[in-house]
A = this chain, B = another copy of it.
Amino acid sequence: MDVALRVVALREKRRVVKLIAVLVGATPAAELFANRQAEACRAVGIDYELKKLSAGATQTELAGVMHKLNEDASVTGIMLHLPLPEHLNATDLQYAIDRWKDVEGVNPANIGYVVYGQRALVPFTAASCVKLVRATGTDLKGAEAVVVGASQIVGKPVALLLMQELATVCVCNVATKDLMLHTQRADILVVAVGKAGLIGPEHVKAGAIVIDVGINRVTQPDGTKKTVGDVQFDAVAEKAGWITPVPGGVGPMTVAILLRNTVRAAELLAGMTAG
C-alpha cells in the first residue's frame, strides 16, 4: 500500500508517525539534505523534527539523547545523520537506537536480521539498490550479481539482500586482483566505491543491470564542479540494459525507502503496544 495511505491508516488508529533526525555539527550541505527529507516526510503526513546538536557534543550526551528518544512513546522513528565529528563513535550510537525505531536499518541487530533472512527494518541504501533492480522485472533467483565495494553501509548489506533473493553474489573490494573478470560476468552490477569513472563499458556485460551508488564531486575542464557516480554513465548506458544515473538514481530511491521504513517502524510499534 502507498506510504501516505498507511500513514492515514495509522492516524485512524490515533497513531502518529513521528521521525526525529539527529544532526550533529550542522553544515549547510547537511541541512539542505535534512530539509529535503523533511519535505518528503511532510508530503506523506509523517511528523518530522530535526534535532540539532553542536559539533562539540560528547558521546555521553548523544547516548543520552538517543535514550530519551527511545523512551519517548510519541517518537516512532529515529535517524542519525552521518558523518559525525571525529571524536564520536557512530556505531555505538547507531546501536543505541532502539531497533524498532531504527528507520535507517543501521542498528547491528537489524543488519543481523538481514543475515537471518528477515526484513524488519533493512538498511535503507542497500534496500534502495535492490528495489531498483526489482523494478526492471528481472528474476533475481540464479542471477549473477557482482557488488563492487565491500563497505559496511552499502556493499555488505546489499550483498546480503541479493543473497536473500537467491542471486549468486560476488563481492569485490580494493584488494580484488582482477575486477574485470568478475564484473564482465554480472547480470546485475552494483557499484559503491566512491571513485569517479571507475567502471567503464569494458567492465560491463551487454544488457546488464547497473546500479551506481557512488557520489563523487569532480572538477570539469571548465573549472566548474559536478556530481558524478562511479560508473562512466554515457559510455556504459550504450551497453547496459538498465543503468541508474547519478544524481537521480539511488539517491531519490533512498528517500522513498526511508519513508517506507518510517511507516513500517510505526506499524511495528503499533502492533507491539496494541498486542
Contact = CB atoms under 8 A, between A and B. Distances in A.
A28 to B, nearest CB: 30
B160 A156 contact: yes
A44 to B, nearest CB: 29
A115 B109 contact: no
Interface stretch (A169-177, A252-260, A261-269): A169-177
Nearest to A156: B115
Interface in A137-156: 141-142, 144, 150, 152, 156
A113 interface: yes
A112 interface: yes
Contacts of A141: 175
State the copy count for this chain: 2
Nearest to A181: B185
In the complex, which of the residues A95, A115, A174 has the most CB atoms of chain B within 10 Å of its own CB atom?
A: A115
Contact of A175 (B108, B111, B113, B142): B142
Nearest to A120: B108
Interface in A111-134: 111-118
A90 to B, nearest CB: 10
A3 B168 CA distance: 38
A222 B126 CA distance: 52
Interface in A97-117: 107-117
Contact of A112 (B111, B176, B177): B111
Nearest to A185: B181
A18 interface: no
A107 B112 CA distance: 8
Given A91-B116, A115-B111, A115-B152, A168 B174 contact: no
Interface of A: 91, 95, 107-118, 141-142, 144, 150, 152, 156-157, 159-160, 163, 166-177, 182
